[in-house]
Amino acid sequence: MPRLEDEIRRLMEGETARLHAAPDLLDRVMRLRRARRARVKTAMVTASVLASVTVVAAPAVYLATAAQRATPSTQATTSATLEPAIDDTPPVRTEPKNLGDLGDGLAFGHVKVGYLPEGLRWSTWSIDHGDAYSTSYNYKGDEKGLYRVQIFMFEEEAVKEITERIQRYREEKDGEDVMIGDRSGYLVVQHVGEDGMAGSPTLFLKMGDRQWAEITFSPVYAKEFSGAEAVNTELRKIAKGLTSTM
């Protein structure tokens, strides 16, 4: 099965190289994987049934008679056998223990959050797929799923996806390299097709050779500030307050 970062890259290229995947990217990747497994299971079941029919092929009259004689229990069993095994269960929110101390959302995975803009709190949403995981923050009373700030973490093999994305921005002369203390980063407004708005101000932060953070403001939240400079100031503060625990 393709690695997570390969599927992320394929999804992004499909939406054009400039489109950054929306905050539900990881969910969509996992749904894609489940759908693919479902198709494989369905194909296997169909192939098995066809093979059985070929082996025990009989005259049409006999098959019709056998079908008429089938008892309800036999029909139910046959129906259950032919039913495609589709896993359409929606993504489940990660339990706090899977991402570490999420009592207040300020410590998750291998990172601690030292600063959040005034009024924001943990949304209680998080998702964990190993070397790529994320959580978000919103206002008290915000609708379920609405985010103001989202922090993605990419580690180990998933780091390659971030560095390649940043390189594309550099080649397009979109965004700028920045320094956050002694750590390097990249500041850019990512154009998220799903939002249909100006874009999502984002700061990528290199926290180590095997760990990068991606801090993103929703376009709606960015409009609450006086301008790009004020947004970038807040992004820098969040980045400065991130501490790696790897």
pLDDT tens for residues 53-105?
A: 343 343 333 333 334 444 444 444 433 444 444 444 444 444 444 677 788 89
Q: What is the structure's pLDDT at 196? A: 52
Q: What is the structure's pLDDT at 121? A: 93
Q: Which of 23-27, 56-60, 108-112, 156-160 is predicted least confidently?
A: 56-60
Long-range CB pairs of 24-29, under 8 A, 24+ apart, other chains included:
26/127, 26/129, 26/132, 26/133, 26/134, 27/91, 27/127, 29/4, 29/129
Helices (H) and strands (E) in the chain, counts: 7, 10
| Cα distance between residue 34 and residue 39, in whole Å | 9
| Cα distance between residue 129 and residue 134, in whole Å | 9
19 Cβ contact list (under 8 Å, min separation 6): 12, 191, 192, 193
* Res 111 pLDDT > 90: yes
User: Which residue shows structure tokens 């379920």?
Assistant: 144
